[in-house]
Amino acid sequence: MTFKTFLALAATLGLAGPAMAQDDPTKVGFIYVGPIGDGGWTYQHDQGRLALEEEFGDRVETVYQESVPEGADAERAITQMALGGADIIFTTSFGFGDATNAVAAKFPDVKFEHATGYKREHPNVSTYDARFYEGRAVLGTLAGYLTETNKIGYIGSFPIPENIQGINSSYLHARKINPDVEMVVTWAYTWFDPAKEADAARAMIDQGVDVILQHTDSTAPQAAAEEANANGGRVFTFGQASDMAEFKPEPRVASIIDNWAPYYIDRVGAVMDGTWKQQASWGGMPEGEVVIGEITDAVPAEAKAAAEEMIANISDGSYHPFTGPINKQDGSEWLAEGEVAEDGELAGMDFYVEGITGEIPN
């Protein structure tokens, strides 16, 4: 049986599509790239799922599949969920983009939401992402105050725009506080690999880096810093994706938290009342999608105050982390005095700002 005939059959039997609205709970599916216990990226998406259940109670039924590889298996996993009667499916990793669109073509009545992607080939596919660079501006400010060696490190996952935004944003704001600050970037080429992340963190510490930011999701860098501190070091870190509170009050002095709950509640609500429309969403601190976790007392009061002011200014929209004058790495002008970066430019960011040494691997 082909999909078309199946769908036709399902429609006549009243199994698929809007026919199932009435009293049935809205079925929401999640495709996760990692295990829900990763303590980072997937964990936070799953917190969003749980928030949905809390918000809507019996009106919603959620299903999820964890550790779905990005590649051939993703399409099957998503199809399986759509066949299982999901009304809306969130695919929560960049690598699920093509698979999401391919399945969306076969299930026009199911809504699809693809995280951190950009392909919306069918009217039932939306994309959503968060402005993590806003949070990095706050962490960069703290790093500027904290560093004594004037070396801050950034463990990148992959040299894609999202990481480069984060590196530039943290560097720019650290430099505002400490003009001598130097940025050391290491690419881990993974989103989650405790062994690689720990190696990267240790190598940085050996080079004299005393504040580490990470764009990878495990707590291994926190543990590496804790170990260095136990041996007389002075290294600070920030929780990534989730709070990583077990490393408080130091080495973890603050964190950048992904909070998907508001978005998920909004979108599932839209499916329930029939107002769901295709969109490309890019929320940040004003929408509550990017949250800074508790800033501990290991940070000087002055630094904490500056970070809190930054949070307030970004959240009320009065400050954009990429406001000129900013030059590109080669010295050419990117943003003039007072000019603010456009979203399109940020979404494709492929250059470092002036002052960062090293090249983006390509």
Partner 1 sequence: MIRLERRPTPSRAWGAASPLLAVALTMMAGGLMFAALGKDPVEALRTIFWDPVMGEFAWYFRAQLLVKAAPLVLIAAGLAIGFRAGIWNIGAEGQYIVGAIAGAAAGLAFHPSESVLIFPLMVVCGALGGFLWAMIPAVLKVTLGTNEILVSLMLVYVADNLLASAAVGWLRNPEAVGFPGSRNLAQWEASANPELIAGTGMHWGVVAAVIAVIFAHVLMTRHLMGFHIRLAGQAPRAARFAGVAPARLVLFCLGLSGLLAGLAGLFEVTGPAGQISIDFASGYGFTAIIVAFLGRLNPLGIVAAGLLMAVTYVGGDNAAANLGIPGAAISAFQGMLLFFLLAVDVLSNFRVRVGRGALA
Residue 158 or 282 with smaller CB distance to partner 1: 158
Residue 75 or 210 with smaller CB distance to partner 1: 75
Output the smallest distance, CB 316 to partner 1, in A. Answer: 30
Output the smallest distance, CB 331 to partner 1, in A. Answer: 22
Residue 63 or 298 with smaller CB distance to partner 1: 63
| Closest among 144, 145, 156, 194 to 38, alpha carbons compared | 194
Residue 81 has, within 13 A of its CA and on its CB side, a CA count of 31
Residue 42 or 255 with smaller CB distance to partner 1: 42
**Separation of alpha carbons 15 and 98, rounded Å:** 26
**Residue 187 phi, psi (nearest 5):** -95, 125
Residue 282 or 319 with smaller CB distance to partner 1: 282
Output the smallest distance, CB 251 to partner 1, in A. Answer: 28
Output the smallest distance, CB 68 to partner 1, in A. Answer: 8
Residue 68 or 290 with smaller CB distance to partner 1: 68
| Closest among 132, 146, 171 to 258, alpha carbons compared | 132
| Closest among 325, 324, 302, 305 to 313, alpha carbons compared | 305
Q: List the structure tokens of 53.
A: 């259940």
Q: List the structure tokens of 240.
A: 């990534």
Binding site for partner 1 (CB under 8 A): 1-3, 6, 29, 35-36, 63-73, 75-77, 79-81, 83-84, 94-95, 98, 118, 158-161, 189, 347-350, 361-362
Q: How many other CB atoms are there within 10 angstroms of residue 256's CB atom?
A: 27
Q: Are strands 290-293 and 252-258 parallel, antiparallel or unpaired?
A: antiparallel
Output the smallest distance, CB 129 to partner 1, in A. Answer: 12
Look up tokens 């993703």; give the residue: 74
Look up tokens 């299982």; give the residue: 84
Output the smallest distance, CB 298 to partner 1, in A. Answer: 35
**Separation of alpha carbons 126 and 196, rounded Å:** 33
